[in-house]
Amino acid sequence: MTTSIGKSRRTLMMSACSLGVLLTGPAFAQDAQQKEDETVVLSTIKVSVTKRETTLQDVAASASVVSSEQAELLGLSDVESLSNVIPNLNFGEHDGASFVTIRGVGASVEIGIGEPSVATYVDGVFLPRQTMGFLSQSDLDRIEVIRGPQGTLYGRNATGGAINFVSKAPSETFDGGFRIGAGSFEAFNVGGHISGPISETVRYRLSAEHETNDGYVDNLLNGDTIGGRDLFNIRGALQIDLSSKTVVDAFIQYQESDGETAWQQSLTPSLSPLIPPGFQESTNSNEIFSDQGYASLQETLIGSVAITHAFSDSLSLKSTTSYIDHTSDATFDGDSTDYGLVDVVGFQRPSESWSQEFILSGTNDRLDWLVGAFYFSEEFQAVLPAVLPNGLPAAAAPPSGLPPTTVNFQELNEDTTSYALFTDVEFALTDRLSLLAGARMNWEEKDFSQSLGAIIPVAGFFGASDIPSSREDEEFLPKVGLSFDVNENFKTYVQYQKGLKSGGQNLGVLSTQYEPELIDAYEAGFRSTWAGGDVIVNGAAFFYDYQDYQVTDLPGGTATVVQNSDAEITGLEVEFIGQLTDQFRLSGGVTVLDSEYTDFASLDLANPFVGPQSLVGGQLNRAPEFTFNANAQYTFPIADGLVLSGDVYHSDDVVLRYFATENDTQEAYTVANVSAVLNLKGGNLQLKAFGRNLGDEEIKRVVIFSPLQGAYLGNFAPGSTWGVEAVVRF
């Protein structure tokens, strides 16, 4: 009955040491290759969000960059921290899956079938599943974030935008480093990198990290903690000059994360008569009473080969071939009480995918263009077994109830094949006015096989097995716009673009499918530089018209149903950054959002007697009306430089479940962080310290309602944390 995706596993055994402190923070810091006394002109930062190299300020779209140098300075360590520094980006986590929302576009919960709304890439490799969102990138050059639908260049599942993790390339001279650190919750990390030439035409880079922590969620029943992990990550890269015109960039990366990262707790008291009197539970943040063990294992293997051939200075061809083999297996207490109502045991979400992209690009005096072809295939599986340790009485499961250890079983197998042809051009109509245009034709086929039923002790499986279904979709995704250079330091643009998120098959409801979501996006913005390029101020206003917006509903048990609705989002964002003096740097951003459903009704199982409710006019999930972030850094002339940094992030109320009741909402909150870096021995030795969430704010990251338990469930972000680290470069 249960099938499994064939896996090609490799054990990578290498000895390496690395410097790479993880990512985050707007990237406008000094390049490591430049002398310390040189000033970086912020407007010259290189990015590749348009799939060809350009400068940040030349991108006619809302884009931000995050550098590894800024990440080290701020002491940040995960993708979640991006939400504190990237305008209109919101992060959540549930059952071992991550949720990234940009400008209110994204998913809210994931119970096995979700695909991301923000396309995430690692060195050009597309990560197709939300369980891949915790892939660690410890040796980064930068992170690029482009906001708004990116249907032309990135295709399916980029309705919110795209995030590119760009690793440091192999170096032409020997380079290495080592780091070791500790922090809250018995955290310990060690890592390093080594890089250099093998010959005149071959260069290498090897990095690795090992990170452990005990977790921050207290199980009051037995005194254990959960939420921790034991992570190992290793990456090897080669850069080969086949000729003066042809370069090969290849890498392989493997990560294993073992711990208890899938969990949920009671947010409100359980009111179900299925739970007998005298049970124990806690609704305090990061506290549970659990009678079930926790285990999470995620393994990811990524391989990629990119070949770039320059026919001339103005014409090049790039081929990128990539492969991902990913497994995710989670076990956790589904009710988070000391009574065995429901346990999730062996929640599996493996994915194996291949992709191939060809891009031919060129430039001349007036035209900057590219044309491309993309192929993607994936075998994905969701297996969700929910064990009922004490069974269910007849009143809850007529006619005769369910005996103890009955397993409510669901399985979905999904094979996806997607093809696309695309183009993106910028044509200079005059010296100051340019036409922006693009188009992508996307074809997609999905084949499903679904099983649903119950495994009853002694009696066996009762239900439906291997029920097939399929769907085919095709969509034309255009882009058109204008950019106008008011002067060499001030660019304006207007643009229309269409985005697409793939449709699919619901889990736990036989043969019901949901439609692809489409978004028509209109945006007008400006990008400006001041003070000789040391100050940047960028802004954008936008309007989104959503058709068939995918909203996740949990109708009972472990079933997951995606409903299609219509919605609109209007927004404004402004971000700024300035190297105001040689010692003082200031950055920040302000965002305003107005989101609403224009056609949507749903039944709230927390209040079922009122029947289906019209949610027209209601606020979208993870789309706070107002956010603000600011960061200040000052360098003191102590030793070889003492850099102190402080940042603050404020968010208005965040709706986490679309009925937007008090229980469905995270109220407005403010988070403050500090960090310090002391440079010694010319910067080759660094001592670091940081503190996050200094006010110990309680921040809900996800909310669901369990009708079986009669309670709201979810989880919280960690409270106050701290860390110290020593970095040696050689």
Per-position DSSP letters for 224-258, written without gaps between them: -EEEEEEEEEEEEEEEEESSSSEEEEEEEEEEEEE
- Strand-strand pairing, 665-666 and 654-655: antiparallel
* Encoded tokens for 292: 């079930």
Eight-state DSSP code of residue 168? P
pLDDT of residue 509: 76
pLDDT of residue 40: 44
Q: Residue 173 class from Cβ within 10 Å (0-12 exposed, 13-18 middle, 19+ buried)? A: exposed
- Reply yes or no on whether the pLDDT at 76 is more than 90: no
Q: Which helix (H) or strand (E) holds 38?
A: none
pLDDT, greater one: 31 or 526: 526
**If you count DSSP H runs as helices and E runs as strands, how many of each does the chain have, helices first?**
2, 42
| CA-wise closest residue to 729 among 679, 683, 678, 677 | 683
Own/partner pairs for 610-616, CB < 8 Å, 24+ apart? 613/659, 615/565, 615/658, 615/659
**What is the rounded CA–CA span in Å between residue 692 and residue 180?**
19
Lowest mean pLDDT among 17-21, 201-205, 251-255, 350-354: 17-21
- Strand-strand pairing, 118-122 and 161-167: parallel
User: What residues are paired with 525 via a beta bridge?
Assistant: 493, 540
- Reply yes or no on whether the pLDDT at 551 is more than 90: no
**What is the rounded CA–CA span in Å between residue 573 and residue 489?**
19
**What is the rounded CA–CA span in Å between residue 613 and residue 604?**
7
**pLDDT confidence band for 97 (50 / 70 / 90):** confident
**pLDDT confidence band for 112 (50 / 70 / 90):** low
Specify the pTM: 0.90
500 close to 477: Cβ distance less than 8 angstroms: yes
If you search the block for the tokens 């208005």, which residue do you land on?
Answer: 652
**pLDDT confidence band for 489 (50 / 70 / 90):** very high
Query: Residues 617-653: pLDDT tens digits?
Result: 999 999 999 999 999 999 999 999 999 999 999 999 9
